[in-house]
Amino acid sequence: MKLSSSTLRKAAEIQERIEQLQTELDGLLRNDSGQSSAPESAPVATRGQVRRVGVVRGRGRRSTSPTGPLAPAVVQVLKSKNSPMSVSEILDGLLSNGYKFASPEPKKNLFARIYRLKGVKQVGPGKFAAE
């Protein structure tokens, strides 16, 4: 099955939203000390998009992975090899470096997001390198 760039982009957007919701759910479930567990804001749907209204956050966007953002971890793996790598090879490198995915299906997550990661470029069919 050949996937178009628009399908991959939509998959990446959905995956990011799932990870945001997972993070919010984890935060709510950790809040067992009797405090209010209401979210800081509710998502508001507008013309097919979901946006956050009134969100108060600390130091910017929180990482959805316990080991940090995905882009720098992928770039590190790509730079360590100095030759183009497939998604499977990058995933193996990430896991061997101790990267933890919040998603239960890390290969699908990586495949959907790799096309939009900063510092990563596609250099051939299914092959990626650091910019």
Q: pLDDT by residue (tens digit) across 74-126?
A: 999 999 988 899 999 999 999 999 998 888 888 998 988 999 999 999 998 88
- With a CB cutoff of 8 Å and minimum separation 6, the contacts of 55 are 40, 41
pLDDT of residue 120: 92
- Using a pLDDT cut of 90, give the percent of the chain over it: 26
The residue with tokens 């990011």 is 16
- With a CB cutoff of 8 Å and minimum separation 6, the contacts of 65 are 99, 100, 101, 102
Q: Say what the pTM is.
A: 0.52
Tell me what the mean pLDDT of segment 52-60 comes to. 45
Domain chopping of the chain, boundaries: 5-130
Q: How confident is the model at residue 58 (pLDDT cuts 50, 70, 90)?
A: very low
Helix, strand, or coil here: 49?
Answer: strand
Rounded Cα gap, residues 129 and 131, in angstroms: 6
Tell me what the mean pLDDT of segment 46-63 comes to. 46
pLDDT at 127 over 90: yes
pLDDT of residue 38: 47
Rounded Cα gap, residues 105 and 91, in angstroms: 11
